[in-house]
Amino acid sequence: EDGSERRFNEYLMTGRQQLTRRASELLEAADFLPKELEKCYNTTAGTIMLGGHSYGAPSAVMAANGASEQSNIQGLILHDPALGMGYGMLPPNGAKSKVPTISYVSDEYNRANVRYGDLTLHVRGCFHGNFVDAPLWAPRLVMRPLSLVIPAAGPADPLMVHDQLAESAMAFLESRDPEPKRVMTGDLFELV
């Protein structure tokens, strides 16, 4: 490119418009998928919760808080919620949601005092990148040095992080209760 100014593209959206679009898509999926499962597989959907990691969390929070009373959304599971990406359209840091909500935060987000929902758990030894699957399949020889540049993987064993997150989220899904005694399965969690 020559560096000249580009013409306006009416198909591009502002950050606020993108967030609203993602939240609307989540609500549509939460409404559509249970009906489709019943129709195609003759089964019923149980508990429906929305979730989001980092920039995905504001969309989930906005969708859950904007859902109608008839909505079947029964909770939120958030990983390192980037609440600052809410463009002023979200409840403030430390607020509670309309539905039961549990947030899991990494070492970095815990130091930044990020809190949202009924319960926030610090996952000790976890970096922002531990909430994705890369630390599970990429060699530690790659992930640890990469963590000097970006928060790719913390010192905790990635498999242990994912196992304990899965057990905790399953306890929350089954009980729909963010009570610490129910969801603090494992030794990596710290109540904050």
What whole-number percentage of the chain has pLDDT above 70? 96
Alpha helices in the chain (DSSP H): 15-41, 56-66, 107-111, 134-137, 140-146, 158-175, 180-183
Position with higher pLDDT, 109 vs 66: 109
Q: Residue 41 contacts by C-beta under 8 Å, 6 or more apart in sequence?
A: none
pLDDT band at 96 (very low <50, low <70, confident <90, very high): confident
Residue 22, pLDDT > 90, answer yes
Residue 161, pLDDT > 90, answer yes
Q: Residue 168 contacts by C-beta under 8 Å, 6 or more apart in sequence?
A: 102, 104, 121, 183, 184, 185, 186, 189
Residue 163, pLDDT > 70, answer yes
Compute the CA torsion angle 19, 48, 95, 115 (nearest 10 deg).
Answer: -90
Distance CA 65, CA 145 (A): 39
Strand partners, 123: 189
- DSSP-assigned letter for residue 135: H
Cβ distance 92 to 162 under 8 Å?
no
Distance CA 146, CA 167 (A): 28
Go through the chain and tell me how many residues it has. Answer: 192
Cβ distance 124 to 156 under 8 Å?
yes
Q: Is the dihedral of CA 120, 121, 126, 132 positive or negative?
A: negative
pLDDT reported for residue 8: 65
Residue 112, pLDDT > 90, answer yes
- Model pTM score: 0.88
Closest to 53 in 3D by CA, of 33, 32, 76: 76
